[in-house]
Structure 1
Amino acid sequence: MDKRVARIYGGDPYINEFDFNESSYKSNDLNVKIFESPTKEWATFVLNNRDRKFSNTSSLNCNNDNKYDLVVGPVADDDLALLFRTFKRGLIDIDILVKEMKYKKVSSQYSFHTENH
């Protein structure tokens, strides 16, 4: 993917590797948002954070203000992009969006938003 992104946007591809102790996000030291699987809450969170016009940063379903040090959950990758576009166009509702995501293979990601550790 790094090569594809570099080809599209220019520049050189880089892969960053992090050493992270997973037990640290279970402590009370970090404000962590965890999504175990694609759910309505997760889909809303992803949509809100991708929407440049979304301005309610006090919402718990948004991290544009970095209220969460770390967000853990499914990757909203290219395989899910068509489903998100179909939802945003009003062709399916949120229940269908989430139902269809359950048939997709999703991997998890750790998204670091602050320097807290």
Structure 2
Amino acid sequence: MILYHGSNTDIRTINLALCRPFKDFGRGFYLTVIKEQAEKMANRVAKIYGGNPVVNAYNIDENFIAMRELNIKNFGTKTSEEWARFVRNNRNKKNENYSDIECNLDNKYDIVIGPIADDDMALLFRQYENGMITFDTMLNGMIYKETTNQYSFHTERAISLLKKERN
């Protein structure tokens, strides 16, 4: 299985310490099976930080989900209330309950798979965090959204499964 990561640099060695915190599934290295999605992200990153867009490709054994030594959280392809709570908790800079199974701020999950909270969904999250809408209103605004997928890798054990493809 090939996973793609959009960037402004060729990433030969993944360094989790360089990954930004408070992302959908916590601090981690984010990839997708959708090459076009990675291309859009690469263009966005290059526009913001400079450089040229680069789509990095990594190979991973398709059976990685069945590996017992990994703790994997898989939300599937559709948004859900559980997914929304998980994303809300990971994006919340004030969340101190790291042991909560509905967050990954402590990297309890090696890999998390699920929909991306796109810009429209991010707006709903901000409106909820600012008390402008209720959690139910936020959730209802997400249910009918078409989503794309993401695979986030949070531990060295998970990163070691990714094999860089030649660009």
Q: Is the pair's TM-score, using the shorter chain for normalization, greater than 0.5?
A: yes
Q: Which amino acid aligns with 1:110?
A: Y
- Correspondence for 1:6 among 37, 46, 58: 46
Query: RMSD of the TM alignment (CA)?
Result: 1.7
Q: What's the TM-score once normalised by structure 2's chain length?
A: 0.63
**Deviations for 1:95-116, whole angstroms, at most 9, x for unmatched residues?**
2212211221101111111122
- Correspondence for 2:138 among 88, 97, 114: 97
**Deviations for 1:8-44, whole angstroms, at most 9, x for unmatched residues?**
2344433221212332212322101111221222112
Higher strand share: 2
Q: Which amino acid aligns with 1:4?
A: R
The corresponding residue for 2:151 is 110
- Correspondence for 2:66 among 13, 22, 26: 26
Count residues with an aligned counterpart: 117
The DSSP-based 3-state class of the residue aligned with 1:18 is: strand
Residue 111 of structure 2 is aligned to residue 70 of structure 1: yes
Identity of aligned residues (%): 50
CA contact (8 A) 1:74 1:107 kept: yes
Partners of 2:112 and 2:155 in 1: how far apart? 11
Partners of 1:107 and 1:63 in 2: how far apart? 20
Quote the offset at 1:66 in angstroms. Answer: 0.8
Runs of 5+ consecutive residues of structure 2 not aligned to the other structure: 1-40, 162-167
